[in-house]
Each structure stands twice: as structure tokens, then as C-alpha cells.
Structure 1
Amino acid sequence: MIQYKGALILGALIGTAAGLLLAPDKGRITRDKLKKEGKDIKDQFTQDFNEVKDDVSKAAKSGKDRFKEDLKDFASRSSYKTEQAITFLEKQLAILKEKNKTFQQSS
């Protein structure tokens, strides 16, 4: 998209230069036309720049929102895995307690 807009601006500049070289009008008329074309090019460039800036902003916001969703999913999965690990450790602790009881009874 940016390359397309750059090509349009380059084309406008080349067209302006060709117009100067082939201009059948007087100098003042040609200068007025150049001023108008220069303003048009500037306005188009400003509009294109704002569109690109908006596109980048939307992409960044979308990426940020996506990152937040992914982070929330990761936290949820991590919490589930943590719960599994805690359950496993509690079972192992219960086994160790039972073994420890057998040592206490045999003493």
C-alpha cells in the first residue's frame, strides 16, 4: 500500500517535470499551474500519510489487544498447570506423611 502511494507521488512529480519541459503556456501561467499541482501533491501526500498512520495505529492496537488475549489465555493455562502440580505435590506429601507414620510407630 505504501509503495503504491509512493509510486503515485513519484508519477505526479515526473508528470510535473514533463509538463514544465513541454509547457506551451507563458511562464506565469506555468508557475501558477505548478503551484496548484504542488499544493495538490502536498495535500495528497498528507492524506496518504494520515491513512498510513491510521493503519499503523490500528495494527498496533489490534496487536496489543491480541497480546492481552494471549496473555490471559497463557495465565489461565498456567494456572491450570499450577493447580495440577499442587495436587501432585499434595499427593506426594500425603504419601510421605504415611511413610513417616510407619517410622513413628515402629520406634
Structure 2
Amino acid sequence: MKTSKIILSIALAAAAGAAIGVLFAPQQGTRTRRRIREQGEDYLQDLQDLKNEYERSVDNFKRKVISAYEENKTGTAPDQG
């Protein structure tokens, strides 16, 4: 869980930095707001991808733990197929 909090913090800091950078860029308000929205959508997609990767890792770990438990319980090696 600690790693996911670090990743989330980095992503949020990057998003905040990008938003601040866009706000200080000399452009029209509508263009600036559009760029902020687009960058926000990109960061949201990146966070969704990280969440999905994290969930896959947790599921994989869960399967390994269950397999090791079953192997220990029955005294047989799990099927690798």
C-alpha cells in the first residue's frame, strides 16, 4: 500500500505542476482551460492505468498465496498449466 500512495502522490504533484505551468502560460483563458482539462484527462487515464496494474498485481499475488496454501495443505505441487 505504501508504494501506491507514493505513486499517487507523484502523479498528483505532476498534475498540479502541469496545471500551474499552464495557468502561467501567456494564452487566452479558453485555450488555457482546454489545455488544463485535456491534461487532467490524460492524468486521470494514467491513474486509471496505474490502478488497473496495481489490481492485477494484487490478484496475481493472491493467486500465488492461495496456490502456496493449497500446496502446503495437500503436500502437492500446484499445476503450472
* TM-score, with length taken from structure 1: 0.61
Structure with bigger helix share is 1
Secondary structure of the corresponding residue to residue 38 of structure 1: helix
Cα separation, 2, equivalents of 1:14 and 1:34: 10
The 5 A counterparts of 1:32-47 are 32-47=34-49
Letter in 2 for 1:49: K
User: Between Structure 1 and Structure 2, whose CA radius of gyration is higher?
Assistant: 1
Alpha-carbon spacing, 1:15–1:3, altered in 2? closer, same or farther (3 Å): same
Letter in 2 for 1:38: G
Moved more, 51-60 or 19-28: 19-28
Q: Deviations over 1:34-64 (max 9, x none)?
A: 1110110110011000000000000000000
In structure 2, the gaps of 5 or more residues are 76-81
Cα separation, 2, equivalents of 1:14 and 1:43: 15
* TM-score, with length taken from structure 2: 0.78
In structure 1, the gaps of 5 or more residues are 74-107
Identical residues among aligned pairs (%):
23
RMSD (Å), alpha carbons: 1.6
- Give the aligned partner of residue 99 of structure 1: none
